[in-house]
Amino acid sequence: MDAIDIKILEELKENSRISFNDISHTVGKTEATVRRRVKSLEEQGVIKKYTIEFTLNSKPKTRATLKIEPDFKEIKNILKELKAIEEITDIWRLSGECGLFIKVEIPSIEQFNPLIEEKISQIKGVKIMETCFITDIIK
């Protein structure tokens, strides 16, 4: 893989529907060369799939992160129960004393306290240490 392949990948990452012709203008190669390189990248497994980002409804969601101090004697059960909560989109296990870090998405801020009180706090061995609402997504 060379600098041209990397430029092609950057273009496809930005817009997976971009035409080979448009990529060729950006990278300074012919359309046939771009097409051949993309096919090669697919065959090598560098390009695994083309995907999209979408929103099912236009109403923005409320997002927050929670830092959790788990009782490590209960960690398997804690992770199982957290995974089962629909509003939790991401779970990270962090090194050292950091514990668990989770991201939640809910339709409105009014649903945050019920999520915490009725679901997350009810899990044995979970202690919520910090909550931060996400105000802007930069990248």
- List, for residues 12-27, the tens digit of each pLDDT value: 998 999 999 999 999 9
Q: Among residues of the chain, what percentage have pLDDT more than 70?
A: 96
pLDDT of residue 6: 93
Amino acid present at 25: H
Q: How many helices and strands, by DSSP H and E, does the chain display?
A: 5, 4
Tell me the CATH number for domain 62-133: 3.30.70.920
pTM: 0.58
- List, for residues 83-100, the tens digit of each pLDDT value: 999 999 999 999 888 899
CATH architecture of the domain 3-43 equals Orthogonal Bundle (1.10)
pLDDT interval class at 78 (50, 70, 90):
very high
Every domain of the chain with CATH number 3.30.70.920 lies at 62-133
Q: Among candidates 37, 57, 58, which has minimal Cα distance to 47?
A: 37
Of residues 136 and 116, the one with the higher pLDDT is 116
Is residue 43 over pLDDT 70?
Answer: yes
Question: Within the chain, where are the H helices?
Answer: 3-14, 20-27, 31-43, 75-83, 112-115
Of residues 12 and 53, the one with the higher pLDDT is 12
According to DSSP, the residues that pair with 44 across neighbouring strands are none
Every domain of the chain with CATH number 1.10.10.10 lies at 3-43
